[in-house]
């Protein structure tokens, strides 16, 4: 199987995957939009009281799946993997096959076309990571400062207690 046949097959597969993703997103938004619309010729269903036990959850767990999550896992991740995989494949094949080197301009153009969005996605992912790291650093700075302040307060309190105890001892000695 030639390289161009592999690329054509890969393109068809990616087009099919993207159509499925678009369909899933469309159905999700349609379902969400129609959630509050009353249905014709239906009797309202009486609401039952449901007792739910609240389980403590993190904020991330309560938010559920967002459009950005779907986008990242269905579009962005495969695009970046496709870009890196195709670039590696072209390099590997180019080292072993002179026909690839003859058509290298077409392959580099395809790598560049895939690389533009892939690089933007990677840059955004790195920006999010940097932001999380900055938040962690700020949190640890605040935590360290609070520990320092707590230790200072405990030390001052211990000194105050000791000085009051010494004052009390002096008063007791002077009364004797």
Residue 55 belongs to a domain: no
Residue 43 belongs to a domain: no
Q: Report pLDDT digits (tens) over 117-142.
A: 888 888 888 888 888 888 889 999 99
Identify the residue with better confidence: 158 or 71: 158
Give the residue numbers spanning the domain of 69: 3-33+63-175
Residue 102 belongs to a domain: yes
Residue 17 belongs to a domain: yes
pLDDT for 73 beyond 80: no
Q: How confident is the model at residue 155 (pLDDT cuts 50, 70, 90)?
A: very high
The token pair at 142 is: 């605040």
Q: How confident is the model at residue 76 (pLDDT cuts 50, 70, 90)?
A: confident
Q: How confident is the model at residue 148 (pLDDT cuts 50, 70, 90)?
A: very high
Q: What percent of the chain has pLDDT over 70?
A: 77
Rg (CA), the chain: 32
Count of the separate structural domains present in the chain: 1
Q: How confident is the model at residue 66 (pLDDT cuts 50, 70, 90)?
A: low
H helices of the chain, where? 3-33, 59-63, 67-71, 77-96, 98-102, 104-175
pLDDT for 153 beyond 90: yes
Where is mean pLDDT largest: 36-45, 81-90, 123-132, 157-166?
157-166
Alpha-carbon distance of 93 to 87, in angstroms, equals: 10
DSSP assignment of 84-114 equals HHHHHHHHHHHHH-HHHHHTHHHHHHHHHHH
Residue 52 belongs to a domain: no
Residue 82 belongs to a domain: yes
Q: How far is CA 9 from CA 12, 16, 53, in A?
A: 5, 11, 51
The secondary structure of residue 76, as a DSSP letter, is I
What average pLDDT does the segment 78-92 reach?
83
Shortest CA distance to 6 belongs to which of 102, 90, 108?
90
Residue reference for tokens 């099919």: 16
End-to-end Cα spacing for the chain? 108
Alpha-carbon distance of 149 to 117, in angstroms, equals: 48
Residue 40 belongs to a domain: no
Residue 149 belongs to a domain: yes
């Amino acid at each position: 199987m030639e390289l161009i046949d592999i690329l054509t097959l890969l393109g068809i597969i990616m087009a099919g995957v993207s159509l499925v993703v678009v369909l899933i997103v469309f159905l999700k938004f349609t379902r969400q939009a129609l959630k509050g619309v009353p249905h014709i010729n239906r009797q309202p269903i009486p609401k039952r009281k449901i007792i739910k036990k609240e389980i403590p959850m993190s904020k991330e767990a309560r938010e559920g799946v967002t459009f950005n999550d779907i986008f990242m896992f269905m579009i962005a991740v495969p695009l970046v993997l496709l870009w890196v995989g195709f670039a590696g494949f072209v390099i590997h094949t180019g080292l072993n096959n002179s026909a690839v080197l003859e058509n290298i301009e077409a392959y580099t153009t395809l790598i560049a076309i895939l690389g533009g969005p892939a690089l933007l996605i990677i840059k955004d992912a790195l920006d999010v990571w940097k932001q999380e790291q900055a938040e962690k650093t700020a949190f640890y700075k605040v935590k360290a400062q609070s520990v320092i302040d707590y230790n200072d307060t405990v030390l001052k309190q211990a000194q105050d207690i000791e000085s009051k105890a010494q004052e009390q001892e002096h008063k007791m000695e002077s009364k004797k």
